[in-house]
Structure 1
Amino acid sequence: MSNLTAAQRVKIARMPGRPGTMDFVHNLFTDVFVCQGDRLCREDPSIYGAIARFHGKPVTVIGHRKGRNFEENMKCNFGMPSPEGYRKAQRLMRQAEKFGRPIITFVDTPGAYPGLEAEERGQGEAIASSLALMSSLTVPVVTVVIGEGGSGGALALAVGNRIVMLENAIYSVLSPEGFASILWKDASRADEAAGVMKLTADDLYRLGVVDQVIPEPEGGAHVDPRPVYAAVDKAITRHLSQLSREKDLAAHRYQKFRAMGAVREEKET
C-alpha cells in the first residue's frame, strides 16, 4: 500500500471523479434491469437497485449513488439516502432471497440523510429494518466499499458475508469532521481525527472488519479505473465461489459480525 495518511485517503475517497456504483455496474455486469421505487412512498435515486448477470449468472445489485455533476448530486442528495431508498433496497433483497440470487452491494455514502422530513418518514426504522433483513438472508452477500462508508447509512447495505474495500476508501462510525466536533468541539481538527479513527482499508483489514483490500493506482482509482474494475470482478467471483460452499450463510454472517471488536485479555502470571 502507498504511504498516504488517513486524512489524504479521506480526500481521495471523496473525490468527485472517483468511480462510483454506476461505473462498477457498467463494467462488471450485463443484462441490467433497473428497479425503482419502494412501493410505499417514492423513488430515491441515491440508492441504485437492479437485477443483472455477473458472468452469466443472475444477481441483485444494490448501491449508493452520489452523481457525477451538480445536477446529479442534487437529484441523488449527494449520496445521502432517505428511508425510501433503504426500503427499496429491502424490497430487492427480499426478491433476491425468494429467487435465490446472490446480492452484491456497493457502499459510497457520507451517511443517511439526517433531515427532518427523513426522520418523519422513519429513517431510523428503515435503517434498522435493513440491518435485520440483511442479517437473516440465506443467499450470499458480498459488499464492496468503494468510497465513503459513513455510519448506519453505509452499514444498512454492508451486512455482508464478505466485505471488500478499495485501498483508498474509508469506513467509519461518522465523518472525521463529526468526530472532531464531538470529541474536541472543533471541526477544523478533522485531519487529526482521521488519524485516530482507524477508518482506512489497512486499519480495518488488520482489525478484521474487512476481508480483502483492493489496490488502487497511485493517486487513486480515478487515475486508471480499469485495473480496479478487474480486481473487484476477480474478488467478487472468488468470494461468491467460496460462499457457495457455506451451508448456513445467515449463521456465517452472524458469526462474522459477532467476532468484530473481540478483545482477548492476557492473564497475569
Structure 2
Amino acid sequence: MPETARQLLGSLTPAFAELAYDDAADSGVDGPIGWDGYDAARDRAAGRTGESESVLCGVGAVDGVETMLIAFEFGFLGGSIGERTGLRIERAFARARELRLPVVSLIATGGSRMQEGMRALTQLQRIARASGQAREAGLPRIAVLRDPATGGGWATLGAGADVTLAVTGAQVGFAGSRVRPEGHPDGYAAYTAEGQHRAGHVDLVVDPADLPRRLGRWLRLLTAPSADPAPPPAPLGATAPPASGWDAVQAARSPHRPRAESYLDSYFEWREDISGDRCGGVDSGVSCGFGRRDGVTIAYAAQCGTPTTPAGFRTAARLVRLASRLGVPVLTLVDTPGAANDADAERAGVGPAIAEMFDAVASAAVPVTTLVIGEGGSGGALAFAAAGRTWITPDAYFSVTSPEAAARILKRNPGDVPATAGQLRLSPQDLVDLGIAEGITG
C-alpha cells in the first residue's frame, strides 16, 4: 500500500483534480478550544507531509469511472478528524451530488481530534449528513479501510458505505488500539479487517496490490445499471418437467443438480460479492452481489441449497435495498429446504429477518426477477421470490411446506409422503397452472 495519501491516489487515477478548500472556518489561536501548542503541532504535521489537513478531496478517473475521492493522510496528526476535515468532506459530497459522481473514501484515521474537543467530534454529524444526502441522491458510496480505520471514520464513512473493502491486515474498529479493553480473548482479532469480514461488517478483504483492480471493478458495476428487468437464466440441469410431484421433489434434492454458483457463473461475465448483514452475521448459503452481463449491471441474491439463516435474509435484503437505490435490476435464485428453524435462528430473529426480505422485494423500486432452481421450501423460499416475475426450472419445486412435514402435520404415515407431494401440487407445471410461476425455463 502506498505510504501517503497522494501516493495512493496516484496508484488509483492518472489525474487527480483536487478541490479548492475553504479553511476560513478554522480561526483563533490554537484552534477552537485554545489547546496549547495545537498550531505548532499542525505546522509540524504540514512540514512532514506537505499537506495542510488530514484529508485530500478531489475528482479522478478510476478504471475509467469519474469518481469523487476522499483520501485520509495518516501522517497528518494520525489522520484525525477536525473541523477543517469535516468541512472538506462535506464539500466533497456536495460536489459529488452536483456532478452525479460515486464517492470513494480511502480511510486511514485514528478518530476525532482531541485538540478540538467537541467541535471535532460533532464533525461526525456533518459527515453523516453529507453521506446520507449522497445516499438519498442515489450515488454509490464505497469505503476502503486502510491501516488504521478506527473511531468516527470507521463509524461514519466506513461502516456507513454501500460497499466496504478493507486492505489485508488493517486495524478496523470503533475502538482504537490505545482504548481497547485489556485481555481480549481473541487477541484483538476482532479489531482487524479479517475479523470484521468474518463478522459480516466488511464485504471484501483486498491485498493492497490488487486494490486498484478491485476498486475499479466495483465502480464499473455500481455505475452501469440496466434499464431492463433481468432475464431469467436458462436451465442448466433437466430440460423436461417431472412426471409427478414426488419426482419434482427428488429432482430438486438430487446432489447432481446445478446449484446457484453454477447459475451465477454461467449468467454473468464477471461479478463481485457483498458479504454480511452488518449485524454481526454471515450466511455462506446465500450469495449476493453485482454482476456484469452484456455490458450492464444486474444485482443478485441467491440461495445455495441450505436452510437460510437470519444473516442470509438480512444480507439479501441489504442487497435488494442497495440495488433499488442505485437503479439496478435484481435477479433472485430460490433454492432452500426452508428457513433455519433451530433455537439459534429464533434467537437471532429469523422471523424479523424474513420480514425484512419480504419488504425489500415487495417495495423495490427496480424490477426483481426470480428463478426457482431447486427446492422452494415454504416462506423461507417465498421471501426471495418476486410476485408476478417468478420462473422455475424443470428440476425444481415450490411448496407451502415439505411433503414430509405436511404428512406429519396431517398425521399421515411416512409411506404417504409421495402421494402428499402430488396433492400439494408443487411441481413446475402445477405452479404454472396455479399462476404462481410465469413459466418453466428451457
How far apart are the structure 1 equivalents of 2:360 and 2:330? 13
Alignment of 1:172-251 (within 5 A): 172-215=399-442
**TM-score computed with the length of structure 2 as normaliser:** 0.45
How far apart are the structure 2 equivalents of 1:29 and 1:106? 14
Aligned residue identity for 1:121:
A
Q: 1:3 to 1:204 in 2, by over 3 A?
A: closer
Aligned to 2:304: 65
Higher radius of gyration, 1 or 2? 2
Q: CA deviation at 1:2?
A: 5.1
How far apart are the structure 1 equivalents of 2:355 and 2:339? 12
Aligned to 1:111: 338
Check if 1:124 corresponds to 2:358.
no
CA contact (8 A) 2:244 2:427 kept: no
Aligned to 1:239: none
Q: CA deviation at 1:160?
A: 4.3
How far apart are the structure 2 equivalents of 1:40 and 1:3? 41
Aligned to 1:238: none
Q: CA deviation at 1:189?
A: 1.8
Aligned to 1:34: 273
Check if 1:156 corresponds to 2:395.
no
Aligned residue identity for 2:260:
T
How far apart are the structure 2 equivalents of 1:86 and 1:114? 13
Check if 1:166 corresponds to 2:393.
yes
How far apart are the structure 1 equivalents of 2:280 and 2:242? 46
How far apart are the structure 1 equivalents of 2:314 and 2:270? 24
How far apart are the structure 1 equivalents of 2:388 and 2:273? 24
Deviations 1:192-215 (A, max 9, x none): 110100101101101111001124
Check if 1:7 corresponds to 2:238.
no
How far apart are the structure 2 equivalents of 1:119 and 1:188? 31
Aligned residue for 1:168, secondary structure, equals coil
Structure 1 residue ranges, 4+ long, deviating more than 3 angstroms after superposition: none
Aligned residue for 1:204, secondary structure, equals helix
How far apart are the structure 2 equivalents of 1:2 and 1:17? 17
Aligned residue for 2:358, secondary structure, equals helix
Check if 1:143 corresponds to 2:382.
no
Q: CA deviation at 1:54?
A: 2.0
CA contact (8 A) 1:135 1:159 kept: yes
The counterpart of 1:87, out of the listed 295, 314, 326, is 314
Q: CA deviation at 1:159?
A: 2.5
CA contact (8 A) 1:179 1:193 kept: yes
Aligned to 1:19: 258
How far apart are the structure 2 equivalents of 1:3 and 1:23? 22
How far apart are the structure 2 equivalents of 1:42 and 1:64? 16
Aligned residue for 1:53, secondary structure, equals strand
Aligned residue identity for 2:300:
V
Q: Which consecutive residues of structure 2, in runs of 5 or more, have no partner in the other structure?
A: 1-239
- Number of residues paired by the alignment? 203
Q: CA deviation at 1:143?
A: 0.1
Aligned residue identity for 1:52:
G
Q: Which consecutive residues of structure 1, in runs of 5 or more, have no partner in the other structure?
A: 67-78, 216-269
How far apart are the structure 2 equivalents of 1:62 and 1:9? 23
Q: CA deviation at 1:144?
A: 0.1
Q: CA RMSD in A?
A: 1.3
- The alignment-based identity, stated in percent, is 35
CA contact (8 A) 1:32 1:53 kept: yes
Q: CA deviation at 1:180?
A: 0.7
Q: 1:5 to 1:98 in 2, by over 3 A?
A: same
CA contact (8 A) 2:242 2:427 kept: no
Deviations 1:26-76 (A, max 9, x none): 11102200110111112111111011112221011111113xxxxxxxxxx
Aligned residue for 2:313, secondary structure, equals helix
Aligned residue identity for 1:87:
R
CA contact (8 A) 1:180 1:188 kept: no
Q: CA deviation at 1:15?
A: 0.4
Q: Which has the higher contact order (CA 8 A, sep 6+)?
A: 1
